[in-house]
Amino acid sequence: MDRPATTLDELNVADEQRFVACLDGIFEHAPWVAGETAHLRPFATVSHLHDELMRTVRRKPREDVLAFLNGHPALGGKEARAGTVTPQSAREQAGLGFVSLTGEQARELEAVNAAFLFKFGFPFIICARRHTRPSILRALRERSGNSIDQEVANAPAEIEHITRLRLVDRVTGPGAPQVAGRLSTHVLDTHAGRPAQGVRIELFEVAYAAPVRLAEAETNHEGRTDQPLLAGVPLRIGRYELVFHMGAYYRAHSVLGAGELFLDEVSIRFGISEPEGHYHVPLVATPWSYSTYRGS
């Protein structure tokens, strides 16, 4: 975070200049958003503040909205690498690896981005913190086919996601909007009729050539992990894989001998489409069978 968090109470009583300064950078190159919302104070909740900021954006005439959209950097484009974007944007995109694309990938991305900009007159805007690289590329490809009216609606929807996350980082107080999702699991040993304790679990993001391991955990006496596998942040839209080391577990319990096991490392591949959702993906297993489902 660039700057210390402010409380909603402080914001509610600050003079307008300080209010605008505190929210600087949340709306890209657009201090007027805070400026035109200040007179609506006090806000009872952080969500209420965010709602009003977005209302200020949406009630502007179309040409102003277009100018505002044009203030956003192209995703992974030259500006991003040259440091002319806001530090917020650079950091958010860096998490996805976009600023470190190879030369060829960057040229390709620039080409699609450029085509988008040429077609719509403003850059492709997406809340990078809610996405994986493959899901961004898919969205870019799909949204390139939209009409301009669809994109004039889509872009503020993405800005709503982007600024909600930034606001939650910057302002503390009651009624903070829900921005984090959660991924959890649970392993049931139906050979012995009890939770499976001591199962090693790995979580991967799998859309890349080589899967990227995001987390590793071991089940406790309840068959759960002590912490959720993912929590506290939006779950990035994308494809994932859970690997449960069941062969090692059953061997440790002397259920299975040497030889090739029927089930050894059990893999469950699943997609996440709701970054703020709760995904519970349990495994109910014997050495000869298993099942899984989207639980809660």
The residue among 50 and 236 lying less far from a second copy, judged by its C-beta, is 236
Under 8 Å between Cβ of 180 and 274: no
Q: How many residues bind a second copy (CB under 8 A)?
A: 41
Between residue 243 and residue 262, which ones bind a second copy under the rule CB under 8 A? 258-262
Q: Which two three-digit tokens encode residue 260? A: 């090739």
Q: How far apart are CA 7 and CA 3, in angstroms?
A: 13
From the list 81, 86, 62, 68, the residue with the least C-alpha distance to 2 is 86
Kind of pairing between the strands at 171-172 and 283-286: unpaired
The residue among 40 and 212 lying less far from a second copy, judged by its C-beta, is 212
The residue among 41 and 191 lying less far from a second copy, judged by its C-beta, is 191
State the binding string over 134-153 for a second copy (x if CB under 8 A, else -): -x------x-----------
257-269 CB burial, b ≥16 within 10 A, e <16: eeeebebeebeee
Under 8 Å between Cβ of 245 and 227: no
236-246 CB burial, b ≥16 within 10 A, e <16: bbbbbbbbbbb
State the binding string over 269-288 for a second copy (x if CB under 8 A, else -): xxxxx----------x-xxx
The residue among 93 and 219 lying less far from a second copy, judged by its C-beta, is 219
Between residue 183 and residue 222, which ones bind a second copy under the rule CB under 8 A? 188, 190-195, 222
Q: Which of 41, 182, 239, 251 binds a second copy (CB under 8 A)?
A: 239
Under 8 Å between Cβ of 48 and 86: no
Diameter over CA atoms, the chain: 74
The residue among 27 and 204 lying less far from a second copy, judged by its C-beta, is 204
Q: Which of 79, 169, 264, 276 binds a second copy (CB under 8 A)?
A: 264
Is residue 295 close enough to count as binding a second copy by CB under 8 A? Answer: yes
Q: Which of 123, 156, 223, 228 binds a second copy (CB under 8 A)?
A: 223
Which residues of this chain interact with a second copy, rule CB under 8 A? 135, 142, 188, 190-195, 222-223, 237-239, 258-267, 269-273, 284, 286-296
